[in-house]
Structure 1
């Protein structure tokens, strides 16, 4: 029978060994599914028509030649479990109760599975993937989105398009993404009048507005009809009828003078005009001809003077910020007649746009700045393109202006050397060859890291080469030590609180402050007012330093994370802004920010992870495996605290004669009744040592939640009784550990080479 099972399934009764054979990695997310399968009960089922008959006959016959292979697979899995137990005798030690089993579900009741949130995606009709003309989502798309057990790449794309959806930067000039462009044309091509959505007025920039996200959507939110109402929740509809489009895209060349003159002369009678432009990170000053530089100036002039209320323009790229940042900053410099550093601050603070520039872009913009400002100040005809190459030559041949330089201590490579080892910083666009090898990956990396190369210290953004910390929430920034080390940058951004996770900001040594200590050992520095450090005014009021936490797979945030959240909450209540940073801003500080988003937005761990990941823009957050597991356990505390407060609230209502609608209030709920239907698994595959407790029953579940020992100190964690946003209310978590790890790995491997 064993041989027949192997031939039938093309499988062997052994668990695959996924452990790395060489070296040590702190981020082995890809092997967690394998690890969990070795120490889990396994349930085998399928939706083939002959499943029930196959399972029934497998108890009497040695072979089955139908479509269903569940019986054969279950036998092989059970043998694999026995083999694994033999190789790991610790699993069978007395008192540990770690013998795991394989079950076959012989009566697959889809309705019961779906009602109990145990079915990821229900069986759909063949036409579920079809869409009516003008619709953006199908029924299948909605079911995929509602399933938080898979396809995080799809979710990430939706969140990016939502976060960076088009906003008006200056009169009639918008910055946006490809989704904005495509949605407008879907509406135009469907023959329907375009719907222009005017988003609610908000005091916060759209990209960090906690209401402008798909992670807060639950199944019930997407159950409405018509489908157009669902479309509007997942995708932001166009906010204007744009007619001039400038698309920054890989492989594009600079428009020629003839093409630009044709555009200018055609605006009066063409319905739409489309231009392509080279993306950020793709050019350096040495690559540009005089004609290319004039093209940059003329495209800025075209946007500035030719975009009107009747002919608005959209500058866009795939994600809404990466490829457009270079041209977008040139446009702001030209239209506002300001330098590069002021343009960066204004684009972030005043216009509220997400953007990301590579170091090569910042160096290029420094070179272009005097030329752009010179052309911007000319009082020529607004309809005439600039063609004076003499101005360009005069600036290119002018002596270089030498400024005082300061060495911040980092080499030009993609590996950051610290006291705790090497950190490899991954950017989303590195794999696409965004910038040249000599300066792209290494330079863009150094602009993000705490360390810096020889940078001219003059402008407010020069010490970080144009990189600014990521604004995750209106009060919360995530960044690196280099961001925290620049008092000028912190003051420009209005940041008055700092959380240093395992690092020390150098300017603190030059200031007077009062010190304090939390119960978990975090240091608090209250800085005296009206002080300067390195010639810069200090706008920071308080600093929290979390000590003895390195990104080495050993350091822990278990005992300190709640104190950090209390500190952030203090900033929030005082209407301040806080920067959370570590060395690079991808692991330790990202862990704290994910926890803050979970608490502040009332969402589960996978939703908070995706929210923070998208708002870190091109820098990929990578909490190490230990810190991620600590977040996973912290989520249990988060859920237990919510459930306890909810139960107390429900009990109070019951004592007053009010009805109780709690998930756990009655034993005849759909979820409770489901335990009876699942209990009918084939006893042929149940070990005699199987545990006595019901496999899927929720009896005793509430008690188990309340009795489980807390690993975190919850005395000071103030959590309200509101339900956590989740598609599985009443469950201790929305997504299990191994599934979350698998999806994180799938997200990262799109940008990170294997073995990194």
Structure 2
């Protein structure tokens, strides 16, 4: 069976729209190739919790921040001091570097441990002197916390000419991402209003003044243009030093131009190339969009849910023609489709000998209370038709409205049916569950569990899907081929079904689930899924004492006093949490990790576990968890992401490996901001 990949579709507007991300600074849409979001996902609201008790809103804005001269850098960076580099321009000074020096500088930076989080937060959150809300929450009158940390130093790569869709060095950005319209001063990155602990979009500009900046252009770009941008950056560094570090005689951060051509870098240091001169991803540099889609395809890859009926992501017909995928019928599920009637299905049956056939079906979540009986009958007829072509040995055939038998030979071979949608699970879940109920003769709750536990399918359904499938359950089972010659016993509806909103907790690993407080407060559902341990991060479960007795006190663990406020650290809890999860793994059971929403605190713990057990770097572990957190976007805030980068360093040391980051902090923050940007616009 050929492996299928995701084909992107227009984003579906969820019934629960994500909140807009408030910020005065946004990444330029022209600075990176346009990337469509994975369908159906949305950004949930993550409550920050209360402000620290000592927080007070200052009466007047504090003075402009200066460099915090505590915790200085140790060791000599490759690019500092720049005395040994050729000078291209004297005032302000601009230096020249070659490809080998750039590679050494980037390797040195990737191998240097990041400063402790306490030395860079809350400064990284963005503390604009006029943003009373942000200042009041984070620093109150402690002006020392607003000083620029001297312990930070990065290397920024700026590309001149064209966009970043080709000839892109690892981590490269466009000039407009850090320079104001004048081209001679840095952007003011800190938001002047609003409150956020997820200001990923400001990090590139915020950290540019604390970076040695290397400027290069595509090979066909005039060198004068490169020097012009470099001159603007050098002036911006000079202005910034005058305003924020007036006592420093020597420039701590400098501007360089790359004397080597892009093709030279491709030849000598291919490990630095993210996108080659033809606009192709090299695969040598982690690309968040690319890795998320790889993980999504792996997680939702096509699998057989019942005899000759498969579910998975929409195939890319440009890469794999339908004829090569091994399926006879492709049923695409999406929002604007209608339920096919028997006449149309009969037409498809007659054309099966001509090659693979396509039809459409409404998506999950599109079911409304206004659905009429004709549409219900059409749904059941669709299930019957799928069953007949997948199992042609069955003697009974469906008839159309006039009583005519569709043109399908009783001796025709079994046909393979592929139910698909963009992400492989969301929009196709309604039809997949309904057909599984029909084909297997099982009620909705059993279909839910068997698809997830036996068939290992990750799927997402909406509350309306639960209500609809429950309401038509008796009719589906009455028409089911599994009911022929026997009576299907009536089983009582389990109590967990009425308390479920349609979604199951997300299976990140076979022994670890990620969910929200609603999932945690449905212990009957957890037991049905094989979950026997619950790890609560900052949000306790509301169980009666009898429930705790059933689970046992050693099967429930609570991490206290961790709010999603950008202040409370979580690193010190990693080892304890992971030992708790590991105990469940050894016992052959699964652990639910949850907070309130299931996207920040608990997601951070799940990422830490994936990094530890699979030996993955943070970017890869982040994409691994993000792809498996069904229908919602994981949202660890800035401090949690930074702490996970420090956790990455610790895991490498435990494996006796040298410290080496796949990507630097400004690049990681930029990638996360760009990934979330399309969803933040949904209304």
Cα offset, 1:511, TM superposition: 5.4
Q: Pick one of 341, 349, 358 that aligns with 2:462.
A: 358
Question: What is the CA–CA distance in structure 2 between the aligned matches of 1:22 and 1:108, rounded to whole Å?
Answer: 43
Q: Which residue in 2 is equivalent to 1:258? A: 343
Q: Any stretches of 5+ residues in structure 1 without a counterpart?
A: 51-65, 130-139, 189-193, 195-237, 382-402, 404-456, 513-530, 533-537, 647-729
1:436-489 deviations in Å (ceiling 9; x for gaps): xxxxxxxxxxxxxxxxxxxxx954232122211000111111011111112211
Matched, 1:14 2:185: yes
Q: Pick one of 314, 317, 330 that aligns with 2:418.
A: 314
Q: Pick one of 624, 632, 653 that aligns with 2:637.
A: 624
Q: Which residue in 2 is equivalent to 1:689? A: none
Matched, 1:242 2:327: yes
- Call closer, same or farther: CA 1:265–1:589 in 2, change over 3 Å: same
Cα offset, 1:118, TM superposition: 6.1
- Call closer, same or farther: CA 1:171–1:98 in 2, change over 3 Å: farther
Q: Pick one of 193, 208, 211 that aligns with 1:40.
A: 211
Q: Specify the SS of the correspondent of 2:531.
A: coil
1:381-401 deviations in Å (ceiling 9; x for gaps): 9xxxxxxxxxxxxxxxxxxxx
Cα offset, 1:110, TM superposition: 5.4
Q: Pick one of 147, 151, 168 that aligns with 2:285.
A: 147
Q: Which residue in 1 is equivalent to 2:523? A: 487
Matched, 1:325 2:429: yes
Question: RCO higher in 1 or 2 (8 Å CA, sep ≥ 6)?
Answer: 2
Q: Which residue in 1 is equivalent to 2:541? A: 505
Q: Pick one of 98, 105, 109 that aligns with 2:258.
A: 105
Aligned residues: 482
Q: Pick one of 280, 303, 307 that aligns with 2:364.
A: 280
Q: Specify the SS of the correspondent of 2:558.
A: strand
- Call closer, same or farther: CA 1:14–1:345 in 2, change over 3 Å: same
- Call closer, same or farther: CA 1:636–1:275 in 2, change over 3 Å: same
Q: Pick one of 321, 330, 335 that aligns with 1:185.
A: 321
Q: Which residue in 2 is equivalent to 1:560? A: 573
1:15-68 deviations in Å (ceiling 9; x for gaps): 111222211111111111011112111112234368xxxxxxxxxxxxxxx454
Q: Which residue in 2 is equivalent to 1:302? A: 385
- Call closer, same or farther: CA 1:604–1:251 in 2, change over 3 Å: same
Cα offset, 1:359, TM superposition: 1.5
Does the Cα contact within 8 Å between 2:444 and 2:473 map onto a contact in 1? yes
Does the Cα contact within 8 Å between 1:496 and 1:540 map onto a contact in 2? no
Q: Specify the SS of the correspondent of 2:366.
A: coil
1:516-553 deviations in Å (ceiling 9; x for gaps): xxxxxxxxxxxxxxx44xxxxx4885122111101111
Cα offset, 1:588, TM superposition: 0.2
Cα offset, 1:290, TM superposition: 1.9
Does the Cα contact within 8 Å between 2:533 and 2:584 map onto a contact in 1? yes
Does the Cα contact within 8 Å between 1:264 and 1:302 map onto a contact in 2? no
Q: Which residue in 1 is equivalent to 2:675? A: 747
Q: Specify the SS of the correspondent of 1:274.
A: strand
Does the Cα contact within 8 Å between 1:341 and 1:466 map onto a contact in 2? no
Q: Specify the SS of the correspondent of 2:423.
A: coil
Cα offset, 1:594, TM superposition: 0.4
Cα offset, 1:572, TM superposition: 2.0
Matches within 5 A, 1:485-634: 485-507=521-543, 509-510=545-546, 531-532=549-550, 538=551, 542-634=555-647
Does the Cα contact within 8 Å between 2:537 and 2:558 map onto a contact in 1? yes
Q: Specify the SS of the correspondent of 2:231.
A: helix
| RMSD of Structure 2 on Structure 1 (CA) | 3.1
Question: What is the CA–CA distance in structure 2 between the aligned matches of 1:98 and 1:576, rounded to whole Å?
Answer: 57
Matched, 1:175 2:331: no
Question: What is the CA–CA distance in structure 2 between the aligned matches of 1:548 and 1:122, rounded to whole Å?
Answer: 44
Does the Cα contact within 8 Å between 2:291 and 2:620 map onto a contact in 1? no
1:382-433 deviations in Å (ceiling 9; x for gaps): xxxxxxxxxxxxxxxxxxxxx9xxxxxxxxxxxxxxxxxxxxxxxxxxxxxx
Cα offset, 1:589, TM superposition: 0.2
Cα offset, 1:107, TM superposition: 4.0
Question: What is the CA–CA distance in structure 1 between the aligned matches of 2:202 and 2:540, rounded to whole Å?
Answer: 34
Question: What is the CA–CA distance in structure 2 between the aligned matches of 1:122 and 1:373, rounded to whole Å?
Answer: 54
Cα offset, 1:321, TM superposition: 0.5
Question: What is the CA–CA distance in structure 1 between the aligned matches of 2:259 and 2:442, rounded to whole Å?
Answer: 71
- Call closer, same or farther: CA 1:511–1:93 in 2, change over 3 Å: farther
Q: Which residue in 1 is equivalent to 2:374? A: 291
Question: What is the CA–CA distance in structure 2 between the aligned matches of 1:35 and 1:379, rounded to whole Å?
Answer: 66
Cα offset, 1:753, TM superposition: 2.3
- Call closer, same or farther: CA 1:326–1:311 in 2, change over 3 Å: same
TM-score of the superposed pair, with normalisation by structure 2: 0.65
Question: What is the CA–CA distance in structure 2 between the aligned matches of 1:173 and 1:363, rounded to whole Å?
Answer: 24
Matched, 1:80 2:236: yes
- Call closer, same or farther: CA 1:359–1:580 in 2, change over 3 Å: same
- Call closer, same or farther: CA 1:508–1:577 in 2, change over 3 Å: farther
